[in-house]
Amino acid sequence: MPTDGPVGIHDLTFRTAGLVLPHTELARHTGACVTKYHQGIGQQAMSIPATDEDIVTMAAEAAAALMERHGADRLRTLLFATETGIDQSKAAGVYVHQLLGLGPHMRVVELKQACYGATAALQLATALVRRDPGQHVLVLASDVARYDLDSPGEATQGAAAAAMLIAADPALVTIHPTSGLYTHDVMDFWRPNYRATALVDGKKSLAAYLQALRGAWRDYRHRGGLDVAQLHTVCYHQPFTRMAHKAHAQLLQEAEVPATAAEIARALAPTTSYNELVGNSYTASLYLALAALLDSDQQLDGRSVGFFSYGSGSVAEFFSGTVRTGYRHLLRTEEHLEAVQRRYPIDYDTYRRLHRMHRLPRQELPVNGAQHDLPHGVSGRYRLAGFHEHQRIYECVSPPPLFPQP
């Protein structure tokens, strides 16, 4: 029977790529002052995928952690959100399904709308659970943010995957049913099929983000959403962490709430700690902000939190949720810190070589169906082993876990 009870995020984790380029190393070779990165855009480092890492391997690593804790016997749906998809037809989640050894009686779908896609997946998941509260839905958001070398967006690159288990009576965050929506056709950021890197108009994208925030917030309030004073803080999509500061200042101005830059910084600091080390992770970015907030030393039991999700092009949503009492016993703080700290630092020349290699399909990797084996580079459980007959070949480096099947 459908439920009117609480539905939301029962568990949440993230994983990132195995390599890292610190912005201190980037600054040494670009000639920029490192404060431009550390303070100007609020970034410390960016995760870089090894040759055998991609959105599937990162998502599988994150999803496996959820399945190991909860099993898969109630799992009926896997929703995979990404804007760096690997196939025009096949959902990346099907590869994850196989790597995890999940049962056949499931739906698996890929969603796309720039960085907003994971929020669309979250809302679809909550609707499915409300209809059938006995089931769980696995939401995966996985992306690699890659821009042209020596471009203005280069310093905001990154890679990560977030995994969320959506359930009735959730342990972490109840998602409120009210949300504010906003869509506007604007060419602020896009990536045509024939390009491996995105095109972006920085000034237009900043303006479009803030316009979408105003529009989504007004719709949220019009539909009975909480007032700013009722929100402990807001988690924002963070293409770079200073963007969250600009957004919060705009939101407070819209709500006619005066605040200093220092007050805004204090409110948002708990939400930026992971993104400033990982870089932009597109669809996963907002949910890394939530992970950072939950992992902070703040006591959030019973507090309401706002969420602003933005996807260039553009689609946006403002919604809210309540952190559940006792949420801390399910946190994965040590796992998250380990995922960030275990990355292997690379130098600038290695970074540029990897950047050129990942620029499918025009560089070293084959486009004619020939067999091409990739060198072993990952430190995790799953890897992209190579290509053969136009197919991506994934493998488990260690034996896959066994989950109860639905």
354 vs 52, 281, 306, 351, 375, CA distance in Å? 11, 18, 37, 5, 12
> Which residue is catalytic, options 61, 83, 110, 317?
83
> Which residue is catalytic, options 23, 136, 237, 355?
237
Q: Could you confirm whether 237 is annotated as catalytic?
A: yes
Q: Could you confirm whether 115 is annotated as catalytic?
A: yes
Cα separation of 76 and 360, whole Å? Answer: 33
> Which residue is catalytic, options 115, 176, 355, 358?
115
Whether the CB-CB separation of 100 and 138 falls below 8 Å is answered with no
CB count in 10 Å sphere of residue 258 = 7
242 pairs with which residues across the strands? Answer: none
CB burial of 47-56 (b: ≥16 within 10 Å; e: otherwise) equals bbbbbbbbbb
CA atoms within 13 A on the CB side of 33: 4
The amino acid that residue 16 corresponds to is T
Cα separation of 20 and 351, whole Å? Answer: 9
Cα separation of 44 and 39, whole Å? Answer: 9
Whether the CB-CB separation of 141 and 289 falls below 8 Å is answered with no
Q: Could you confirm whether 38 is annotated as catalytic?
A: no
The position carrying tokens 């105003």 is 214
The radius of gyration of the chain's CA atoms, rounded to the nearest angstrom, is 20
What residues contact residue 229 under an 8 Å CB cut-off, 6+ apart?
257
Q: Which residues are catalytic?
A: 83, 115, 237
